[in-house]
Structure formats: structure tokens, C-alpha cells
């Protein structure tokens, strides 16, 4: 299938806008949850959600990206690939749901907490039809997935508001979560199914290949998910539900910041998979541009977290959560590393070296466990934030080593120094305007104007970047260079 640069760029932009809107709605919903449940209840909710999210990784096990990468180069058997994905996903959902329920039972402090955990766990079963979104990714029609995501956010938001107005607790929120997720998954299945080229089959001859490929990716996904979720569980167990509530607020902002790298890589993965064998030079150019763009987008989060973190937390979540801002700059620094790791991971998958991902993730998980044990006991939820940053630094460094040598990428090829100069100007303006007593809105507006001007003045970003990133086949001049 031919994908024009304009269509690919439109797909990325739609995802960024949609995910950004859902992020804003998610912040509002989190605000209502946090204020209605207080620090103790919110800590319990966040811990249950962490358990279910960990179990959710076992319902996919890397099958979806594996199928997308394979089906992108095997259009004749696309219906077999997608059908096999749906069957395998359903088979994995049953044991994952049971494991999640058992884990909630072991960790719950009371019956209400366990019942809420069991209801949230049931969403793993009802989410199976959503795996058909792989068809949208192959068609570069991720606008359909974004529509469903928005419907889910709206339904969940309405559910949270209704529960809050009726002074409901954990169980009521869990019911709303399950209902909204079930409706959204069904809608995703119906709309995505229309993108098929022919009737889906069971794809049984492909099961073994998908599982073998997916297990390598899935092992990495499971370990990475464990890395990102483990700190919440450590804080809950070692420091109690109140500290867990504070960490949950800061880490929730980190989780919801992923929408830009996720949007970019959802479109880029099939393009990389299609280019790596036929035109490695262009694949390298796409990877480098994506790294530059993600640095441009993610680095301001560190400055905002450092300068405006306390006021942002206070405005959004209330004064009782202001202490959570102490972890925000560190988690935003981790977000920078996480962002650039997205395209690196996609390149590893496109290069069919996914076994390396699992090995790196295993090292990361061991690092995370050691750092959490050492730091959470001493520094509480702030120690957990440093554990996340330290682990991500190790993981990103190792992943870069796997990718760089085979494709001839060298450190310093991108525009890191120019982007760093723009970030320096952004930070200086934020500190100056804050020192002058300007309101938060003025501080952020001045920073945005300064940063945008510096990016173009220093040539840290150019108009042609997105075209290079999303072009399926580069022009002759670019290939020659």
C-alpha cells in the first residue's frame, strides 16, 4: 500500500491533537478522582490500576506490533495475520484476567478494594476486540483509533462525574471503568473490522511465527511495564497509601505525557519496517528526525516541572497533593529518555532484533528493583522517581547501542546541541518571569513564544522535518547524501 507523506503527516497530527485532547480530559478526570477519594483512597485506586495494567501486558505479549510489522510486508496474507492476532489475544486474556484478580486479592486491604480490583480486571476480557486496531495502523487510519479513544475518555469522564456527584467509592468507579472500556472496545472492533481487505481467518499456520516473534517483543513489553509500574507498588507497600497517592499524582502526569511519542511511533513503525530492508539510509534518516522531534517536544517538560511544578499540582489536584511536585522534575527527565526510546524500540523491531529488547528490559527490571529497594526505603516517593530515571537511563543507553552500529548512526549526528540551546533560553525566561512575580499563564506563554522562536532561529527544527520523517521512499538526492 502506498502512503503519501501528506497522509502520514496528517495521521501523526490527528493523533497528537486527539491524544492531547484526551490528555486534558484525563487530567480533569484524575483531578476529580484524587479529590473525591483523598490521598488514601486515590493511593488504593492507583495501586489497583497498576496491577491491572501489569496484567494487561500479558494479554498482548507483543503480538500486536509483531503482526503489524509482518503484515506490512505480507499484504496477501493480511487477513490471516489479523485473524490470528484476534484469536491469540482472546486466548491470553483469560489467564491474564485471573492472575490480575488474584493479585488484587493478595494486595487489597479490605473487601471494597478487592471487589473494585476484580471489576477493573474484568476489563481485560472485554478489551479483546480492540486488537483489531492493528488494521487501522496498517491503513495509516489511526484517526479511527483516536475517535474510539475519545469516546472512551468521554464515557469514563461522565462515569466519574456521576459517581462523584453521588459520593461513590472505589467500587462505583470500578463499575464505571468497566462499562466505558467495554463499550469502547466493542466500538473499536466494529469500526476497525471495516478496514479489512477480506474475511478474517483463524490464521492457524501463523500462530507459531507470531508467538515466537511476539514473545521476544512481549517479554520486553512485560518487563518494561513492570519497570514503569513497580515503583507505585513499592511505595504502597513500603510507605503506605498516602505516599502512594502522592507518587500516583506525579507519575500519572508522566504516563499521560506519552501521547506525542506514541502518536509518532504508531505511524512510523510500519514505515520503518517497510524501509529498513529496501532503503536503510532512509530508515536511518527517519529515525534521526524522530529523535530530534521528540527531544524538541519532551525537553520543555523538564523545565516546566522544575519551575512551575508546585503551582501546577496545586491548581490541578489541590494543596494536599502539592508535595508530589518534588518528584515531578525527575519524572519529566525520565520522560525525555522514554520518548527517545520509543523510536529506538521501533527500529529494533523493524530490524527483527526483538530478542535484544527482552534482554535489555530484563537488565532494566533488575536495575529498577535494586534502585527501588535502595531509594524508596530512604526517600519515599521521591526515591521511586529517581529509580525510574536511573533505570530509564540504563535502558535507553543499551537500546541505542543495539540500533546505532548496524545502521551507521553516530552520536552527535542530530541537532541535540541546538535543541539544548533553545531549552536553555526557555528555562531562563521561565525563571525570570517567575522571579518577577508573573502569573503562571504568563510564565508559560512567554516560555512558549521564546522556545518556538529559538527553535527556528537556531535551526533546531525545520519545516521539512515531518516530510522526511513520513516519506515512504526518499528522493534520489536524499538517498545519495
Does 81 have pLDDT greater than 50? yes
How many CA within 13 A on the CB side of residue 467? Answer: 6
Helices 78-107 and 111-126, packing angle to 10 deg: 180
Lowest mean pLDDT among 220-229, 292-301, 467-476: 467-476
More confident residue, 302 or 9: 302
CB 243 within 8 A of CB 61: no
pTM for this predicted structure: 0.60
Q: 458: which residues sit within 8 A by CB, 6+ positions away?
A: 418, 419, 421, 422
pLDDT at 61: 66
Domain boundaries, the chain: 5-415+459-474
pLDDT at 481: 27
State the cell numbers at 255: 504516563
Query: 529496501: which residue's cell?
Result: 278
Count of residues in the chain: 481
More confident residue, 96 or 313: 96
Does 479 have pLDDT greater than 50? no
State the cell numbers at 139: 491503513
CB 88 within 8 A of CB 206: no
Does 264 have pLDDT greater than 70? no
Region 420-428: mean pLDDT is: 88
Angle (nearest 5°) at CA 438 between 437 and 439: 120
For residue 439, how many other CB atoms are within 10 A of its CB?
Answer: 11
- Three-state secondary-structure class, residue 148: helix
Q: Of the spans 113-122, 198-207, 442-451, which averages the highest pLDDT?
A: 113-122
pLDDT digits (tens, 9 = 90+) for 114-170: 999 999 999 998 988 888 888 877 776 777 878 888 888 889 889 989 998 888 888
Amino acid at each position: 500500500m502506498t502512503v503519501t507523506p501528506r497522509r502520514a503527516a496528517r495521521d501523526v497530527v490527528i493523533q497528537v491533537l486527539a491524544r492531547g485532547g484526551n490528555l486534558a480530559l484525563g487530567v480533569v478526570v484524575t483531578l476529580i478522582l484524587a479529590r473525591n477519594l483523598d490521598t488514601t483512597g486515590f493511593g488504593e485506586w492507583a495501586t489497583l490500576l497498576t496491577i491491572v495494567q501489569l496484567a494487561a501486558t500479558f494479554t498482548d505479549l507483543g503480538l500486536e506490533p509483531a503482526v503489524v510489522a509482518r503484515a506490512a510486508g505480507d499484504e496477501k496474507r493480511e487477513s490471516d495475520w489479523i485473524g490470528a492476532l484476534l484469536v491469540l489475544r482472546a486466548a491470553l486474556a483469560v489467564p491474564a484476567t485471573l492472575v490480575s484478580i488474584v493479585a488484587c486479592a493478595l494486595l487489597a486491604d479490605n473487601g471494597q478494594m478487592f471487589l473494585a480490583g476484580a471489576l477493573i480486571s474484568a476489563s481485560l476480557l472485554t478489551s479483546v476486540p480492540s486488537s483489531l486496531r492493528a488494521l487501522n495502523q496498517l491503513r495509516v487510519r489511526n484517526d479511527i483509533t483516536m475517535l474510539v479513544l475519545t469516546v472512551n475518555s468521554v464515557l469514563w469522564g461522565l462515569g466519574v462525574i456521576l459517581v462523584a456527584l453521588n459520593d461513590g467509592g472505589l467500587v462505583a468507579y470500578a463499575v464505571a471503568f468497566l462499562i466505558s472500556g467495554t463499550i469502547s472496545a466493542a466500538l473499536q472492533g466494529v469500526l476497525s473490522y471495516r478496514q479489512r481487505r477480506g474475511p478474517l481467518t483463524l490464521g492457524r499456520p501463523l500462530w507459531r511465527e507470531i508467538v515466537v516473534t511476539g514473545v521476544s517483543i512481549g517479554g520486553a513489553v512485560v518487563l518494561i511495564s513492570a519497570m514503569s509500574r513497580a515503583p507505585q507498588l513499592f511505595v504502597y507497600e513500603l510507605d503506605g497509601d498516602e505516599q502512594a497517592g502522592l507518587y500516583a499524582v506525579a507519575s500519572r502526569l508522566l504516563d499521560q505525557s506519552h501521547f506525542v511519542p506514541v502518536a509518532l511511533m504508531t505511524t512510523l513503525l510500519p514505515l520503518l519496517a517497510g524501509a529498513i530492508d529496501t532503503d536503510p539510509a532512509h530508515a536511518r534518516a527517519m529515525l534521526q528526525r524522530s529523535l530530534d522531534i521528540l527531544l524538541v517536544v519532551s525537553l520543555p517538560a523538564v523545565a516546566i516541572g522544575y519551575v512551575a511544578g508546585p503551582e501546577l499540582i496545586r491548581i490541578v489536584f489541590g494543596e494536599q497533593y502539592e508535595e508530589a511536585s518534588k518528584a515531578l522534575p525527575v519524572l519529566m527527565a525520565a520522560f525525555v529518555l522514554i520518548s527517545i526510546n520509543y523510536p529506538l524500540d521501533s527500529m529494533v523491531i523493524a530490524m527483527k532484533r526483538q530478542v535484544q529488547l527482552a534482554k535489555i528490559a530484563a537488565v532494566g527490571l533488575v536495575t529498577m528493583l535494586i534502585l527501588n529497594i535502595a531509594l524508596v526505603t530512604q526517600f519515599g516517593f521521591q526515591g521511586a522517581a529517581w529509580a525510574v530515571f536511573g533505570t530509564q537511563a540504563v535502558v535507553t543507553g543499551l537500546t541505542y547501542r543495539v540500533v546505532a552500529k548496524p545502521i551507521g548512526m553516530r552520536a552527535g549526528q542530530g541537532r541535540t546541541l541546538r535543541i539544548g540551546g533553545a531549552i536553555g533560553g526557555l528555562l531562563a525566561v521561565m525563571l525570570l518571569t517567575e522571579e518577577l512575580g508573573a502569573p503562571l499563564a504568563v510564565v508559560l506563554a512567554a516560555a512558549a513564544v521564546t522556545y518556538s522562536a529559538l527553535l527556528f532561529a537556531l535551526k533546531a527544527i525545520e519545516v521539512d522535518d515531518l516530510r522526511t520523517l513520513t516519506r515512504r521512499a526518499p528522493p534520489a538526492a536524499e538517498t545519495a547524501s
